[in-house]
Each structure stands twice: as structure tokens, then as C-alpha cells.
Amino acid sequence: MADRVAGPTTRIEGPDGIEGPDDVRAALRLHGYLADQGLATVVYLALVLHRPLLLEGEAGVGKTEVAKVLARWRASDLLRIQCYEGIDVSQAVYEWDYARQLLHLRAAEARAEGSGRPVPETVEDELYSERFLVRRPLLAAIASPKDRPSPVLLVDEVDRADDEFEAFLLEVLSDYSVTVPELGTFHAVVPPVVVITSNRTRDVADALKRRCLYHWVEHPDFEREVEIVTVQAPEVLPVLARQVAAAVERIRALGLYKPPGVAETIDWAQALAALGVRTLDEASVAATLGAAVKYREDAERVREAGIAALARAAVERAGVERAG
Ligand SMILES: Nc1ncnc2c1ncn2[C@@H]1O[C@H](COP(=O)(O)OP(=O)(O)O)[C@@H](O)[C@H]1O
Ligand SMILES: [Mg+2]
């Protein structure tokens, strides 16, 4: 048998004490987020390779929360851009504080008038100095102070923004720099941790995808969803948490227009607990279905499939403990 020749190995430094996806998973859990192996792996890679993370998936699967939990865990700032149609540079990157610039100019003019001299030429430069620059999240993320942990930049629901914004984002993420014509170029000393989310109402451009590490976030499986409810809503009895997770799992299989997300599962469990429900039955499900299903047609679909049967099946499923 031939000896294996060991190639050169480069060890990439991860965040403090983090040596692999399992450590990431544990750290996220400690801060209230339960990730599966796939997500923990891609988060780990994003951290060690300093690559933006693009999380795509249906609404309510826990994409935005990833950015929030990363900021909690790393005790860093969370800088959030909520995308919408027509979002532009002034909301995402920077703008000039016109009102304060105007005040500054007026004051200079008043001083000049008082002294009988013309307004000094330096005033114009002063107007376009950092003092009057309003840093929006993208610039704040790039130009964040060196002595703080690198911030988490959340670009939320990028599918709502238009192509131009996406192209601009790609430009910023390719070299982590932003140019303000009047001031010069800001360059990130340490790149921010970037989380981009998309609900996939349209496809994100290939170029942006290529720049990012990509992960499709699925609804959690039954056992993980039970755990999420237990962690996020400890007041809900474990038995009820299991039944609600089981009911949601079934509802998701109905092919609804808007299947319930994790937030709905948590809400539903809390609503039932608040009503003192201990075991799901037809009446309690019918009375609280609006916590889980938010469209009339979807609610109709659930009723057609049978609410009594849904409650029975959920109770039965909940009673089956995880094997192994
Ligand atoms: N894996 C998870 N662990 C803990 N909480 C979760 C998880 N996934 C989702 N949640 C909870 O569900 C809610 C919805 O998640 P969110 O990140 O807003 O969904 P999305 O951004 O995908 O629409 C959040 O309040 C979050 O607390
Ligand atoms: Mg979200």
C-alpha cells in the first residue's frame, strides 16, 4: 500500500474558540437559535472565509433571525437594511444632513455679515465633511471602528429591491469599500459579517449569488421545531409544544398559499397556552387557527382537510418520541 502524501494544509482561523460547524451550532443555540447542520456549516464558512451569506427560503423559516443571533453571539452591532422597491443609496449607504448643513452655512453668513468680510471659502469644504455625513447601514458597516467587533450587516429581503440596488450591493461586497465623492473612499479594515436574505419572490442575480455562500433554509423538522417553541416560549407545556408542531407540520403539507412559518408556530402555541388549552382538539384548533394560517383561502383549505382529523393526528404524532 502506497503511503499517502500529505499535502500542505492551511488552517484558517475561525472566530474565538470556534473550530467547526458544531461549535457554531452550539454558540447559536446558546443565544436562542437552533440551526441544523447545513445552516451551521454555511455560517461557519461565512465567518472563516469572510464571505457574505445569502439565505433564501419561505417567509418565517428563520432567515432574519440568523443575523440577529450572530450579532448577539458576537456582541457586535447589527446594521440592518430593510429592502423595498425603490430603495436607493441615500437610505442604504449615506446622505448629507441638509438641515444641519444649511444651519452651518447661515451661521457662517451671519458671522461674515457681522464682521463685514465675505464668507470664507473653507465653509464649503466644511459642509461636506464627516460632521454632516449621515452614515446609513452599508457605510456604517464598512467604516466601523477598528476597536469594536466587526458588525453584522443584514440586507433583509433583497428580493424586494430592484436590480440596480443589487448591482450596487455587489459592487460594495466585492471589495468592501464605499466611495463618497466629496470625501474619498472608505475601506473596511475588517469586513463585516454580511447576511443577505431573500423570500424568493424573484430570483437574485447570479453575480450576487456567486459572490455569496448560499443556503436554502427549510422549515425545521418536527423535533427541531418543538425545541424552538420550547426555547422561545418556555411557558408552553412541552406536550402542547409537540402537538402544535405536529399540527403545523401537517398544515404545511397541504400546499397552502402561505404555509405557517416558525413565528406562526410559536404564536399559535402561545395563544393556545394563554387559553389554557392542554391538548389540541377540534374546538381549540378551530378557535385559534388564525394564529397559524393568515389567509382566508388557506383557512378554508385546512377546514376542508378536516380540523378534527388534524387535531387527532397531531396528538398522536406528538406522543411518538424521537427514536434513538
Ligand atoms: N431555528 C430557529 N431557532 C430559534 N428561533 C427561530 C428559528 N427559526 C425561526 N425562529 C423564530 O421564528 C421567527 C421568524 O423568523 P424570521 O427569522 O423572522 O423568519 P424569516 O426571516 O425567514 O421570515 C423569529 O421570531 C425567530 O425567533
Ligand atoms: Mg425575514
225 lines ligand 1 (CB under 6 A): no
258 lines ligand 1 (CB under 6 A): no
C-alpha distance from residue 56 to each of 69, 199, 226, 255 (Å): 17, 6, 22, 19
Confidence of residue 321 (pLDDT cuts 50, 70, 90): low
232 lines ligand 1 (CB under 6 A): yes
Residue matched to cell numbers 440596488: 165
- CA–CA separation, 79 and 82 (whole Å): 10
Confidence of residue 17 (pLDDT cuts 50, 70, 90): confident
Q: Which ligand is nearest to the CA of 40?
A: 1
Domain ranges of the chain: 21-87+136-216, 94-131, 222-318
Model confidence at 214: pLDDT above 60: yes
Determine contact, residues 260/219, Cβ cutoff 8 Å: no
Angle between helices 307-319 and 296-305 (to 10 degrees): 70
- CA–CA separation, 124 and 113 (whole Å): 17
Kindly state the cell numbers that stand for 264.
406562526
Residue matched to cell numbers 464571505: 51
* Atom of ligand 1 at shortest range from CA of 262: 12
Average pLDDT value for residue range 195-216: 96
pTM of the shown model? 0.89
State the DSSP H helix or E strand holding residue 152, giving kind and residue range, or none if neither.
Answer: strand 152-156
- CA–CA separation, 271 and 110 (whole Å): 62
Model confidence at 193: pLDDT above 60: yes
> Could you give the percent of the chain with pLDDT greater than 70?
94
- CA–CA separation, 35 and 189 (whole Å): 29
CA of 313 to the centre of ligand 1 (A): 25
Mean pLDDT over the full length of the chain? 92
Q: Which CATH number fits domain 21-87+136-216: 3.40.50.2300, 3.30.70.20, 3.40.50.300, 3.40.50.720?
A: 3.40.50.300
Kindly state the cell numbers that stand for 302.
385546512
- CA–CA separation, 144 and 30 (whole Å): 26
64 lines ligand 1 (CB under 6 A): yes
